[in-house]
Amino acid sequence: AQKVTQAQTEISVVEKEDVTLDCVYETRDTTYYLFWYKQPPSGELVFLIRRNSFDEQNEISGRYSWNFQKSTSSFNFTITASQVVDSAVYFCALSEAGTNAGKSTFGDGTTLTVKP
């Protein structure tokens, strides 16, 4: 069975601080996909990034960066110079491939609060 663990339930930082959200996953599949979503107070999950299991190259998008390490089954998300608008719940998700493509397991989320 697949499992996603986001050990940090809540994180609070002051604006402009850097913050890293941890994600650890478990799967027996060799091919899988990892995602990060942002859920602001409005409730809609907003897609941030998708990474497949064969691509361990880290990615940077503006203030966001992702560190995928297959050896430790982790897919961590870093926000540099955080802003108040970054306050939201962030979810990490793991999706199967092949015939079960689209079957996703989500972590329980990390609530990030950025204070001015």
Binding site for another protein (CB under 8 A): 4, 33, 35, 37, 42-47, 50, 52, 91, 93, 95, 97-104, 106-109
Nearest-approach distance from CB 65 to another protein, in angstroms: 19
Nearest-approach distance from CB 66 to another protein, in angstroms: 15
Nearest-approach distance from CB 7 to another protein, in angstroms: 14
Give the nearer residue to another protein in terms of CB position, either 80 or 104.
104
Whether 45 contacts 33, CB under 8 Å: no
> 93: which 2 tokens?
């998700």
Query: Comparing C-alpha atoms, which of 113, 115, 116 is closest to residue 11?
Result: 113
DSSP code for 16 = T
Give the nearer residue to another protein in terms of CB position, either 53 or 65.
53
Nearest-approach distance from CB 48 to another protein, in angstroms: 10
Cα→Cα distances 77→1, 22, 48, Å: 24, 7, 10
Cα separation of 51 and 40, whole Å?
Answer: 22
